[in-house]
């Protein structure tokens, strides 16, 4: 929970490295970290990977007890089986996702220069399936949740290292994600930043509002409200609905760009998915 | 002098509004719904649709089908208002978000 010097140095190193790639995203990252350091001086930046449970000791204790028998374990087991199943053309997910698979979550999202769009892990999985002659999975369905849960579990403790390559399209995707984050939506007229920056740490009803830092490290998540494991984009949809906006489609360009922006802000933090949230 | 005039103006406006509303026809409701649908489509294209607009439109259509033109008219007005507000939000936020960026 408390700031550790070497971690802060490591995070600073990531800041310095990414600064050479593109100044604007690096400035965003530094400003965001400075904001949370000032807002929560007693909480280490890396602790935010636990979301609201980094900010509320009582809720953290309850959450840690849940982690003794985590409800996402079933999804991990199912995902392990799916990972071993051959695709329609006899190839495997390792053939498609790379030799390091299933330890690949740290490579996503990335900017795909071929398509000129942000590539997420979920989209890559479906691309593998379609290329092999299989049907694409529902992005909100149990198979996608299971396989991504297994990959996330195997990728735990890998560091987030999202790059914004020297390509104006990549920077445009990042900026689009940033615009989405700061843009008011819905009848309640809220931007993501209102809950996760302006009011971060406060309560909405009984729930503590988490920091943006670390928002993408722990997905997919078993959400008690959903009674199942689900993806980050389902949470985006839920956020948009909660402010009485019409949610976008999962894996839409805008949601992928938002994921790109948010993931970049978590550079240097470790992956800790899947996770449990209320 | 200002207060009585203001009061008279308010009463007149409310009366006129009430008369216009009371005289609503099914055609007017359909016109409101068409305008609401068009504005809502515009908001959706801008990824700024509001979740309340479509239910208002559906409720208005149902009220019209039930023969309750007055209720349909009110609901259609709400649909149009929310649709227009959602488009206005999209337009104003095209620039306004920049003022919220940290360090801006």
Q: Could you tell me which chain B residue has the CA closest to the CA of A36?
A: B102
Distance from CA of A181 to the nearest CA of B (A): 9
**Cα gap A141→A121, rounded to integer Å:** 15
Non-local CB neighbours of A11 within 8 Å, separated by 6+ positions: A33, A45, A46, A267, A268, A269
Percentage above 70 pLDDT, chain A: 92
The yes-or-no verdict on residue A133 having pLDDT over 70 is yes
Please tell me if residue A31 touches chain B, with a CB cutoff of 8 Å.
yes
Span of A150-154, A190-194, A229-233, B17-21 with lowest mean pLDDT: B17-21
Answer whether A254 sits within 8 Å of B100, measured CB to CB.
no
Percentage above 90 pLDDT, chain A: 89
Looking at residue B23, its pLDDT comes to 72
Answer whether A189 sits within 8 Å of B89, measured CB to CB.
yes
**Cα gap A278→B59, rounded to integer Å:** 33
Beta bridge partners of A221: A230, A275
Contact residues, chain B, for A241 at CB < 8 Å: 51
Angle at the Cα of A216 from the Cα atoms of A215 and A221, rounded to 5 degrees: 95
Which among A27, A184, A244 is the nearest to B52, CB-wise? Answer: A244
Looking at residue B103, its pLDDT comes to 79
Query: Using an 8 Å Cβ cutoff, are A272 and A156 in contact?
Result: yes
Looking at residue A144, its pLDDT comes to 98
**Cα gap A228→A221, rounded to integer Å:** 8
Looking at residue A13, its pLDDT comes to 45
Answer whether A184 sits within 8 Å of B50, measured CB to CB.
no
Looking at residue B4, its pLDDT comes to 54
- Tell me whether residue A73 is exposed, middle or buried, using C-beta atoms within 10 angstroms of its C-beta: 0 to 12, 13 to 18, 19 or more: middle
Query: Using an 8 Å Cβ cutoff, are A152 and A158 in contact?
Result: no
The beta strand positions in chain B, using DSSP E, are none
The domain limits of chain A are: 5-69+163-277, 73-154
C-alpha dist (Å) from residue A6 to A10, A86, A268: 6, 43, 12
Looking at residue A22, its pLDDT comes to 41
Answer whether B50 sits within 8 Å of A189, measured CB to CB.
no
Which among B49, B85, B101 is the nearest to A246, CB-wise? Answer: B49
The catalytically annotated residue of A128, A192, A195, A239 is A239
CB-hemisphere CA count at 13 Å for B85? Answer: 18
Three-state secondary-structure class, residue A31: helix
Longest Cα separation, chain B: 56
State the average pLDDT for chain B: 86
Angle at the Cα of A45 from the Cα atoms of A101 and B102, rounded to 5 degrees: 105
State the average pLDDT for chain A: 92
Give the burial string for B49-82 (b: 16+ CB within 10 Å, else e): bbbbbbebbebbbebbeeeebebbbbbbbbbbbb
The yes-or-no verdict on residue B13 having pLDDT over 70 is no
Contact residues, chain B, for A28 at CB < 8 Å: 101-102
Q: What is the mean pLDDT of residues B73-90?
A: 98
Q: What is the mean pLDDT of residues A194-207?
A: 94
**Cα gap B30→A110, rounded to integer Å:** 47
Q: What is the mean pLDDT of residues A83-88?
A: 98
Q: Which residue has the tokens 């996608």?
A: A144
Q: Which CATH number fits domain A73-154: 1.10.3720.10, 1.10.760.10, 3.40.30.10, 1.20.1250.20?
A: 1.10.760.10
The yes-or-no verdict on residue B99 having pLDDT over 80 is yes
Whether A195 is catalytic: no
Looking at residue A230, its pLDDT comes to 98
**Cα gap A87→A76, rounded to integer Å:** 19
Answer whether A187 sits within 8 Å of B82, measured CB to CB.
yes
The separation between CA B15 and the C-alpha centre of its own chain, rounded to angstroms, equals: 20
User: Tell me, which fold does domain A5-69+163-277 have in CATH?
Assistant: Cytochrome Bc1 Complex; Chain D, domain 2 (1.10.760)
ipTM above 0.85, yes or no: yes
Looking at residue A233, its pLDDT comes to 98
Distance from CA of B101 to the nearest CA of A (A): 7
For residue A20, name the pLDDT band (cuts at 50, 70, 90): very low
For residue A12, name the pLDDT band (cuts at 50, 70, 90): very low
Distance from CA of B92 to the nearest CA of A (A): 10
Answer whether B44 sits within 8 Å of A186, measured CB to CB.
no
Three-state secondary-structure class, residue A111: strand
Distance between first and last Cα of chain B: 49
CA dihedral A195, A200, A10, A22 (to 10 degrees): 40
Per residue in B18-60, pLDDT tens? Answer: 444 557 899 999 999 999 999 999 999 999 999 999 999 999 9
Which candidate, A232, A214, A186, A222, places its Cα nearest to that of A270?
A: A214
């Amino acid at each position: 929970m408390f700031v550790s010097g070497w971690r802060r140095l490591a995070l600073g190193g990531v800041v310095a490295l990414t600064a050479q790639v593109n100044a604007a995203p690096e400035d965003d990252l530094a400003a965001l970290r400075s904001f949370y350091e000032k807002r929560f001086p007693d909480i280490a930046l890396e602790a935010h990977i636990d979301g609201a449970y980094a900010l509320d000791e009582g809720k953290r204790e309850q959450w840690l007890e849940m982690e003794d028998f985590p409800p996402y374990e079933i999804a991990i087991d199912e995902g392990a089986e799916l990972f071993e199943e051959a695709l329609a053309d006899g190839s495997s997910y390792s053939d498609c996702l790379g030799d390091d698979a299933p330890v690949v979550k740290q490579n996503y999202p990335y900017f795909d220069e071929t398509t000129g769009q942000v590539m997420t892990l979920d989209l890559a999985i479906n691309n593998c399936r379609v290329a092999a002659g299989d049907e694409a999975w529902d992005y909100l369905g149990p198979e996608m949740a299971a396989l991504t849960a297994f990959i996330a579990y195997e990728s735990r403790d890998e560091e987030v290292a999202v790059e914004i390559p020297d390509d104006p399209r990549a920077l445009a995707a990042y900026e689009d994600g940033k615009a989405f984050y700061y843009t008011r939506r819905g009848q309640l007229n809220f931007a993501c930043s209102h809950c996760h920056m302006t009011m971060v740490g406060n309560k909405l009803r009984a729930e503590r509002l988490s920091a943006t830092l670390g928002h993408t490290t722990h997905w997919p998540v078993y959400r008690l409200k959903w009674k199942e494991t689900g993806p980050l984009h389902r949470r985006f949809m839920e956020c948009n609905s909660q402010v009485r906006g019409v949610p976008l489609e999962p894996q839409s360009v805008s949601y992928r760009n938002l994921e790109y922006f948010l993931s970049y802000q978590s550079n240097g933090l470790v992956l800790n998915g899947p996770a449990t949230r209320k | 002098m200002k207060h009585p005039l203001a009061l008279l103006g308010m009463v007149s406006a409310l009366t006129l509004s009430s008369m216009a509303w009371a005289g609503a026809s099914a055609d007017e409701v359909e016109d409101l719904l068409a305008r609401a649908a068009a504005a809502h489509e515009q908001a959706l294209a801008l990824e700024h649709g509001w979740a309340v607009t479509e239910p208002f439109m559906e409720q208005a259509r149902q009220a019209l089908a039930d023969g309750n033109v007055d209720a349909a008219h009110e609901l259609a007005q709400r649909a149009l208002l929310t649709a227009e507000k959602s488009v206005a939000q999209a337009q104003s936020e095209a620039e306004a978000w920049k003022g919220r960026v940290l360090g801006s």
